[in-house]
Amino acid sequence: MAVEVAKIEIKNVSDASGLEACITGGQMAADEVVAVIGKTEGNGGVNDFTRILADQAFRGVLMKHGSRSEDEVKQIPMVWSGGCDGVITPHATVFARNDKTGTPGKDRLAIGQAMSPEILPEDIGRPAMVEKVAVGVKAAMADAGITDPKDVHYVQTKTPLLTIESIQDAESRGQTAFCEVHDSMGVSNGTTGLGIAVALGEVDMPKAEDICRNFDLYSSVASCSSGVELDCAQIVLIGNRDGAGGRYRIGHSVMEDALDIDGIYDAIRDAGLDLPERARAEDLNGKLVNCFMKCEADRRGLLRGRRQIMLDDSDVHHHRHSKAAVGGVAATAIGDPAVFVSVDAMHQGPHGGGPVIAIVDLGE
């Protein structure tokens, strides 16, 4: 199978006209869409309803133009990251899988998905969650037809976080929660990042005391999100597979810190584009589809030796500072503000930096 990819601008909070245009224009069929990863314009918090509005709009278009049932459309992974701080443009990247075949010896984009075993509230932040996420990642690799972990370049997840009710459920069974509700989003993301790293052989199984504490342990391909709507890990895995059809290829690198523009270009080179040593946006020649990256404030309060105040700001959360800063660097690098930047990057890339994933169009 081949994968078709389209980046679509979202013109208002409930706009899915770009997806409809892709379908009616023949770029992809509604029933071929297998995943959507997007940025919405809300506050990125628990009460960010723009994610729900975007989700409803995109699923509505797939129902209108396809033959899948409502339940089948509901099962399509759609990961919405709220918050377009700074210059980031609301947009979505849509992935469709068709029956075109490729040429042996030529590797192109492949995508797989899976659900992990159930993650209990007491698992979050602990080795049990790492192990369960790793099981799901290996299942997603099999679904993508990828056998070598080195061919995996992007793992996007959605996992459960803690609520008052789930903590009470754990306590009723004699179990305890790793952290409080408000810390559980970052903890869930970080534990998931380690599960991805273990599955792909990037790190050994961590000790319990290393989880969310030892930031030298990380995955360079993980992009983790969490929410209240799941009780397991929803996994979308993307890599390259020999003989896969289509025009697209994926690569990755890491940003060592929030200013590491070279890390972005390294990911694009890894995807297959030849770039000069000192690259600029014009060198991409319209062949970059999109970049996906994670970031967060350096907990040491430093950036290249200079003091940073985002962790001390009582008016604007440090997530919004870091997202806006990295979004600006990324938009400059690729010449396009429609770029996927997400925060809460614990165990996802080096401390103070984060993974960068690039998808390019290499032609037929």
Contact 249, 362 (CB under 8 A): yes
Pairing state of beta strands 222-227 and 152-160? parallel
Lateral strand order in the sheet of 152-160: 107-115, 234-242, 152-160, 222-227
Q: What is the CA radius of gyration of the chain?
A: 19
Report the C-alpha gap between 138 and 152 in whole angstroms. Answer: 11
Report the C-alpha gap between 162 and 129 in whole angstroms. Answer: 13
Lateral strand order in the sheet of 340-342: 248-255, 354-361, 288-294, 340-342
Report the C-alpha gap between 349 and 294 in whole angstroms. Answer: 8
Q: Is 158 a catalytic residue?
A: yes
Query: Which of 102-136 are b and which e, b meaning 16 or more Cβ less than 10 Å from the residue's Cβ?
Result: beeeebbbbbbbbbbbebbbbbbbbbbbbbbbbbb
Helix, strand, coil proportions of the chain in percent (round to 5)?
Answer: 35, 25, 40
Catalytic residue selected from 132, 138, 158, 323: 158
Cβ atoms within 10 Å of 200's Cβ, excluding its own: 24
As given in the structure block, the two tokens for residue 24 are: 């009616």
3-class secondary structure, 122: helix
Contact 91, 39 (CB under 8 A): yes
Catalytic residue selected from 225, 226, 253, 322: 225
Three-state SS letters, 281-336: HHHHCCCEEEEEEECCCCCCCEECCEECCHHHCCCCCHHHHHHHHHHHHHHHHHCC
Contact 87, 327 (CB under 8 A): yes
What are the residue numbers of the active site? 158, 225
